[in-house]
Amino acid sequence: MIPLRYNVRSLAVRKATTIATAGGIGLVVFVLASSLMLSAGIRKTLGTTGKPENAIVLRMGSDAELGSVVEDSTVPLVLAAPGVRVDEKGQPIGVAEIVVVGAMEKLGAKGVTNVSIRGVPDNVMAFRPEVHVVAGRLPRPGSDEALVGARIRGRIRGLDLDQSFELKKNRPVTVVGVFDANGSSYESEVWVDRELLRQAYNRMGIVSSVRVRLDSPSKFDAFRAGVENDKRLGLQAVRETTFYEKQSEGAATFVGILGTIVSIFFAAGAMIGAMITMYAAVANRQREIGTLRALGFSRSSVLTSFLLEAVILSVIGGGLGAALSMTMGFVHFSMVNFASWSEIVFSFDPTPRVIVTALTFACGMGLVGGLLPAIHAARTSPLKAIRG
């Protein structure tokens, strides 16, 4: 077996080509890892929004709150269904909310975007203890005041502390507080009083969804049966975790596929670059290869050595690309979620699985790009190589 230091020394001697090839591979790994991180970030953002002990009730056939209509008269029936937890006063724990989409102007970019506006009841903070006001204060019940999520704050005109926006024409609302929610999708929403939103969007007598807290996740089947067995209501119950998993599928899949396609095109170029580099190395080291064969190293040893050299080159580039992609963890990226048709701000999630996948892809590029040059080196005649 040819010593590993032979390959390391060879790469060190050819600094320019090593840096260029490693840089190309690093770029591919960066693009692939970044797309996978964004896809993971989308799933994480929407995944942390749901709680296993919560259930959400929508109109039968609705996939999102935006297209769901639940009559006010059915809300008490939902809250009285089996399995719903009650508080210390014996009242069922749940919230009935309205969700609409408002067109608002983006800051720093031309055009408008859709923003989710949630009409919430007075007990919303008690139902969602993970939500905390980090700046300003809570809106007064029944007032023209709003809370904005921390991630969307400052990205949309009027959505910052002490600023105002028009809920509808000639209906200004003042932002009096900013909240966070452990990185969930709520941080990309605007919360206003439910009755205020009803009046502005003419949603009197209806809500978009009803959320309940169950005694335990195991009570969901009994709760769903209680809600769905009455066909007159026309309602469906879904675990909150399942609901948000489905919400994330479209955007996460789109980003993942798009990133993979771009990475494949980049990878083709990187592999061609690696192949050219290794072919040049073989051509310039004919005497070395002949000497190695004359010393008794077999063709398989030469093939393995050159293939290993290509893998080392790809690992260097992959490591650089992976390290650079880790910085994306500090970046927030906004896009329209296909399920809600509203803008949500996501973060890149650099999970160990993403890094391992990217590095494995880099090694694969090295193997593919270095295989033919390694075979060519192994087939080199010792006598011709030494004489040449």
Query: Taking residues 2-7, what's their average pLDDT?
Result: 74
| 355 pLDDT more than 80 | yes
pLDDT for the residue numbered 382: 65
Closest CA to 209 of 21, 22, 71, 302: 71
For residues 362 and 127, what is the distance between their CA atoms, to the nearest angstrom?
46
Of residues 375 and 73, the one with the higher pLDDT is 73
pLDDT for the residue numbered 164: 93
pLDDT for the residue numbered 300: 83
For residue range 88-103, what is the model confidence (pLDDT) as tens digits? Answer: 989 999 999 999 998 8
| 184 pLDDT more than 90 | no
Domain boundaries, the chain: 4-47+247-387, 61-233
Is residue 176 a contact partner of residue 207, using CB atoms and an 8 Å limit? no
CA dihedral (42, 47, 50, 53) in degrees, to 10, reads 180
pLDDT above 70 covers a percentage of the chain that reads 93
**What are 328's two structure tokens?**
């994306």
For 10-24, 118-132, 349-363, which range has the lowest pLDDT when averaged over its residues? 10-24
For residue range 190-208, what is the model confidence (pLDDT) as tens digits? Answer: 999 999 999 999 899 999 9
For residues 371 and 8, what is the distance between their CA atoms, to the nearest angstrom?
18
Q: Which residue has the tokens 């080392």?
A: 312
For 12-16, 132-136, 230-234, which range has the lowest pLDDT when averaged over its residues? 12-16
pLDDT for the residue numbered 217: 94
For 109-118, 275-284, 324-333, 349-358, which range has the lowest pLDDT when averaged over its residues? 275-284
Spatial neighbors of 353 by CB under 8 A, at least 6 apart, are 40
Is residue 348 a contact partner of residue 331, using CB atoms and an 8 Å limit? yes
**What are 153's two structure tokens?**
């704050």
Helix or strand or coil: residue 135? strand
For residues 313 and 271, what is the distance between their CA atoms, to the nearest angstrom?
11
Rounded to two decimals, the pTM is 0.76
Spatial neighbors of 135 by CB under 8 A, at least 6 apart, are 161, 177, 178
For residues 81 and 237, what is the distance between their CA atoms, to the nearest angstrom?
11
Dump the DSSP string for 176-227: EEEEE-TT-GGGGEEEEEHHHHHHHHT-TTEESEEEEEBSSGGGHHHHHHHH
